[in-house]
Amino acid sequence: MQFCELNEQEYTAFAKHHQYGSFMQSKEAYDIKAEGGWEGAYLGVKEKDEIIAATLLVSMPVMKKFRYFYAQRGFLLDYKNKELLKYFLGNIKDYCHARKGLYLRIDPYVCLQERDINGDLVEGGFDNHDIVQNLIDMGCHYCGETKGFRDDQQVRWMFVLDLEGKDADTILKEMDQQTRWSINKTVKMGIDVRFLSYDELPIFKKMMDHTSERRGFKDRELEFYQRQMRCYGEENVKVPYAVLDLDKYEANMQADLDNQLKEKAEVEEMLVKQPNSKKFNKRLKVVDEAIEIAQRRLKEAQELKAKEGNELPLATAFFITLNGNEMIYLSSGAYDEYMRFNGPYAIQWTMIQYALNHGFKRYNFYGTSGDFNKEADDYGVYLFKKGFGGHVEELVGDFILPIDAMMFAIYNRLKKIV
């Protein structure tokens, strides 16, 4: 085995097809870090000129004279191969030490144990606690099986919908009934979804600001999203934007009302012939209620059109599609005033179909807290994701490898890294 630096082309070719690969281990992710002032390198292990392990390793100054190193989303290797792991980690440590490293963080894109849609363990499912132990045995401090979100860590819990071997009809049928109804409602109302360009990102950010204020969280700056699209490329970042075409909505509501009025006329005609029919009298009552709803919706459509013009903004979201195997849903916003139109459902259904049409195997709804109790702060968001079907994934978590043990102990007492 030979530890070495890799060039960009050979690293990218290896990372693209690795089972533990993530968009965060890409050349584009390195570009984002570089714009933020990080330095980095592609490191690997070759055996007979074949790459068998690799990582994108980035670093930044800490405590003035030291450096913090980070292998974001971990190494690309077989973590169960203890010989390879020991060799690679040992050489990585030497590499960091030679560059005045203080400590190294890794957070492998590896699931810890198999879980179902409710977050419960699957009986007889896989268990990768041996990977955790392997890293501990080699000197890493384990940050634990944490729940919740931290600003200094990537998400540890995710919600994923498997797409492989499925089509749109199958996925729609497997969804929760309420989710399926909401999707069908967006189709009936005529909600349109298009992709925002780089220059239109302020539209996305405006809606995110509204959402962050409503939910009580601090959103990132516009520059963060611009950097993501600039570095990943517009072809690899999708920002769907759901709007209600009010001309179409008004026409649909008018057509619905016309159909209800036509049905009422037919029922009344039957009642002339059978005035005491319980069936037709009950049906007339139902139709009258439907007409009242249709009239109310038509009036609403007309009022919205007079207020907003032809287009009513509803919701938006931010997706990374760099890794051809997995589509990542990172963030979203919606106007609270118009949540009844189900814009977020239109976006998710549009993107699920996009993923299917472009050969993605996984649709990753991404972060969830790992707390599936009804009292959890993000329980409503979890229920939204759960409605589309899928399963919970729990990653192994974060590991810290001290490079300068004495100085890291001092730093850790101050910062409480582990």
Q: Confidence band (pLDDT; 50, 70, 90) for 276?
A: confident
Return the CATH architecture of domain 158-246+311-395: 3-Layer(aba) Sandwich (3.40)
- In this predicted structure, what is the pLDDT of residue 390? 97
CA distance 204 to 222: 9
Report yes or no: 123 and 406 within 8 Å, Cβ to Cβ.
Answer: no
Quickly state the pLDDT bin for 168 (edges 50, 70, 90).
very high
| 251: number of Cβ within 10 Å | 14
Nearest to 301 by CA among 257, 271, 261: 257
- Residue 148 vs residues 154, 208, 269, 300, 368: alpha-carbon distances, Å: 11, 21, 62, 40, 8
Give pLDDT, residue 22. 94
Confidence check: pLDDT of 54 > 80: yes
- Which of 166-170, 248-252, 352-356 has the weakest average pLDDT? 248-252
Find where tokens 């994934």 sit. Answer: 393
Q: Kindly indicate the confidence band of residue 50, based on its pLDDT and cuts at 50, 70 and 90.
A: very high
Average pLDDT estimate for 351-356: 97
Nearest to 335 by CA among 355, 307, 314, 363: 314
Kindly state the helix (H) or strand (E) to which residue 85 belongs, with its residue range: helix 82-98
Give residue limits of the domains in the chain: 2-109+127-143+397-415, 158-246+311-395, 248-308
High-pLDDT (> 70) share of the chain, %: 100
**Residues 202, 214: Cα–Cα separation, whole Å:** 18
Rounded Cα distance, 57 and 272, in Å: 82
Give, as one character, the DSSP assignment of residue 337: G
278 falls in which pLDDT band (50, 70, 90)? Answer: confident
Residue 188 confidence (pLDDT): 83
Burial class (CB in 10 A: 0-12, 13-18, 19+), 218: exposed
Model confidence, pTM: 0.91
User: What's the average model confidence in pLDDT over 268-277?
Assistant: 88
Residue range 289-347, pLDDT digits in tens = 999 999 998 999 899 999 888 899 999 999 999 877 899 999 999 999 999 999 999 99
SS3 content of the chain, % helix, strand, coil (to 5): 45, 25, 30
Q: What is the pLDDT of residue 151?
A: 84
* pLDDT tens by residue, 386-415: 999 999 999 999 999 999 999 999 999 998
158-246+311-395 matches 2-109+127-143+397-415 in CATH topology: yes
The whole-chain average pLDDT of the chain stands at 95
One DSSP character per residue, 348-368 reads HHHHHHHHHHTT-SEEEEEEE
97-150 residue pLDDT tens: 999 999 999 999 999 999 999 999 999 999 999 999 999 999 999 999 999 998
Share above pLDDT 90 across residues of the chain, in percent, rounded to a whole number: 85
Domain 2-109+127-143+397-415 has CATH 3.30.379.10: no
Statement: residue 273 has pLDDT above 90:
no
372-389 mean pLDDT: 95
